[in-house]
Amino acid sequence: MSMSQENVKKIVELGAERNTFIEVSDGYRYYKYLPTKEHRKYDCFNKHNISGRVKSYMGGIRYVNSPNELCKVKGPIYQVVIGAEEEITREITSIVRNQGYESIEVRDLLWKEFLFINHQGMGKARGVKLLCDYFKISPKEVIAFGDERNDIDMLELVGMGVAMDNADESVKAVADYVTLSNDNDGVAEALSKFFL
C-alpha cells in the first residue's frame, strides 16, 4: 500500500529543512536527493564514476537536484528514506510518530542514521503473507532468510526463520536456525541442510 502524497510531502519537507539525504521509491525506481557531497555516505549506490552512473541509471536510480522534485514523482510512493546524523533521525522519528501523520510507520531498526518510512503494516512479513495468499500456502510452510532487524517480523511469521551468521544479535535470537554469513554462502548452506 502506498503512502499518501500529503505524508510524502510532509516527510520530504522535514528532511529538507534539516538538510538530509532523502530517497523516495515508487517500487521500481529510487529517486534520491543529496544536498552535499558529504551526504554520499548515505547513498549505497556510487554514481560518482562512469560505471557507477550507468549501473545506477540502469538499476532504476534517479538523482534529483532539489527535494521539491521528490514530491513531483508520478505514481504511488511506497517508501521514504531519510539519512542523517542520529540526532536528526531521532528528531524526525519523534515528529512523525507524535504529530498526526496518519497510517505511517517509521522503521529506525536498521542503522541509527537511517529512517525507513512507509505505510503502516507494510513490512517484510506483509509481503510474505501476500505471497502465501497468492500461492495458497501457509506461512508455516515457508523458509525465510534475514540479517537485519527489519527482517524480524518476517522470520517470526514463517515456519523456518534463518538468520545469517553476520546478522544482528536480535535477529539471531528470533531465528530457528543460524547459518553461515552472507559472504560464506549461508543461504546455500541452510538450503542444503534442510532440503537436500
pLDDT bracket for residue 44 (50, 70, 90): low
Same-domain status, 115 and 141: no
Report whether pLDDT(129) > 80. Answer: yes
**Where is the domain boundary, 92, 119, 146?**
119
Q: Which helix (H) or strand (E) holds 17?
A: helix 5-17
For position 184, which CATH number holds?
3.40.50.1000
Considering its fold, how many domains does the chain have in total? 2
Q: What is the pLDDT of residue 48?
A: 60
For position 22, which CATH number holds?
3.30.1240.10
**Where is the domain boundary, 91, 119, 147?**
119
Q: How far is CA 4 from the centre of its chain?
A: 18
Higher confidence at residue 182 or residue 44?
182
Same-domain status, 107 and 143: no
12 class by beta-carbon count within 10 Å (0-12 exposed, 13-18 middle, 19+ buried): buried
Report whether pLDDT(109) > 60. Answer: no
**Where is the domain boundary, 79, 99, 119?**
119
Question: CA angle, 189 as apex, 183 and 190 as ends, to 5°?
Answer: 115
Q: What is the residue-averaged pLDDT of the chain?
A: 87
Same-domain status, 151 and 181: yes
Same-domain status, 130 and 83: no
Same-domain status, 21 and 96: yes
Which pLDDT tens digit goes with each residue over 169-194? 999 999 999 999 989 999 999 999 99
Report whether pLDDT(65) > 60. Answer: yes
Report whether pLDDT(119) > 70. Answer: yes
For residue 22, the enclosing domain spans: 5-119
